A and B are shown apart, each in its own frame.
Chain A
Amino acid sequence: MSRLKLFLPLMVFVVLAIFLLNGLERDPNAMPSALIDRPIPVFSLPVLGDETRSVTEALFQGEPALLNVWATWCVACRIEHPFLNKLADQGVRIIGLNYKDDNDAAKKWLMDKGDPYALSVIDARGRMGLDLGVFGAPETYVVDRTGTIRYKHIGVVDERVWRDKLLPVWQEIQ
Chain B
Amino acid sequence: MYRIFTVGTFLLLILAGAGPVGAAEDVQPFSSDDKRQRFHELVAELRCPKCQNQTLADSNSPIAQDLRGEIYRMLEDGKTDSEIVDFLVDRYGEFVMYRPPVKNTTLILWLTPLLLVLIGIGILWRVHRRQSISAPPVNAQSDGSSATAVNSEALSAKEQAQLKTLLGESEQSESDDEKSSGGVER
A residues within 8 Å of B by Cβ?
Answer: 28-29, 31-35, 100, 126, 130-136
Chain A binding site: helix, strand, loop or mixed by DSSP?
A: loop
Complex Cα–Cα for A136 and B50 (A): 7
Query: Inside 8 A of A35's CB, which chain B residues have their CB?
Result: 91
Closest to B52 in A: A28
Query: Inside 8 A of A134's CB, which chain B residues have their CB?
Result: 63
In the assembled complex, the CB of B91 is this many whole angstroms from the nearest CB of chain A, namely 4
Complex Cα–Cα for A100 and B69 (A): 15
In the assembled complex, the CB of B117 is this many whole angstroms from the nearest CB of chain A, namely 17
Flag if A130 contacts B67 (CB, 8 Å): yes
B159 near A: Cβ within 8 Å?
A: no
What are 23 inter-chain pairs, A to B, with CB distance below 8 A?
A28-B52, A29-B52, A31-B52, A31-B93, A31-B95, A32-B93, A32-B95, A34-B90, A34-B94, A35-B91, A100-B62, A126-B62, A126-B66, A130-B66, A130-B67, A130-B70, A133-B92, A133-B93, A135-B49, A135-B50, A135-B63, A135-B92, A136-B50
Ranked 9 nearest A-B pairs via Cβ: A34-B93, A133-B91, A135-B49, A135-B63, A135-B50, A133-B92, A31-B95, A126-B66, A136-B50
Complex Cα–Cα for A100 and B52 (A): 22
B residues within 8 Å of A by Cβ?
Answer: 49-50, 52, 62-63, 66-67, 70, 89-95
Complex Cα–Cα for A85 and B72 (A): 39
Complex Cα–Cα for A108 and B110 (A): 52
Closest to A31 in B: B95
In the assembled complex, the CB of B89 is this many whole angstroms from the nearest CB of chain A, namely 7
Number of A-B residue pairs having CB atoms within 8 Å of each other in the complex: 36
Query: Inside 8 A of B90's CB, which chain A residues have their CB?
Result: 34
Closest to A33 in B: B93
Query: Inside 8 A of A133's CB, which chain B residues have their CB?
Result: 49, 91-93
Complex Cα–Cα for A136 and B67 (A): 13
Query: Inside 8 A of B49's CB, which chain A residues have their CB?
Result: 31, 133, 135
Closest to B89 in A: A34
Query: Inside 8 A of A126's CB, which chain B residues have their CB?
Result: 62, 66
Closest to A100 in B: B62
In the assembled complex, the CB of B79 is this many whole angstroms from the nearest CB of chain A, namely 15
In the assembled complex, the CB of B83 is this many whole angstroms from the nearest CB of chain A, namely 15
Complex Cα–Cα for A87 and B169 (A): 100
In the assembled complex, the CB of A41 is this many whole angstroms from the nearest CB of chain B, namely 9
Closest to A35 in B: B91
Closest to A99 in B: B62
In the assembled complex, the CB of A67 is this many whole angstroms from the nearest CB of chain B, namely 15
Flag if A136 contacts B63 (CB, 8 Å): yes
Complex Cα–Cα for A33 and B94 (A): 10
Complex Cα–Cα for A29 and B94 (A): 15
Closest to B91 in A: A133
In the assembled complex, the CB of B8 is this many whole angstroms from the nearest CB of chain A, namely 26
In the assembled complex, the CB of A8 is this many whole angstroms from the nearest CB of chain B, namely 11
Query: Inside 8 A of B67's CB, which chain A residues have their CB?
Result: 130
Complex Cα–Cα for A29 and B51 (A): 9
Query: Inside 8 A of A100's CB, which chain B residues have their CB?
Result: 62
Query: Inside 8 A of B70's CB, which chain A residues have their CB?
Result: 130
Complex Cα–Cα for A34 and B70 (A): 18
Complex Cα–Cα for A132 and B50 (A): 14
Complex Cα–Cα for A98 and B10 (A): 41
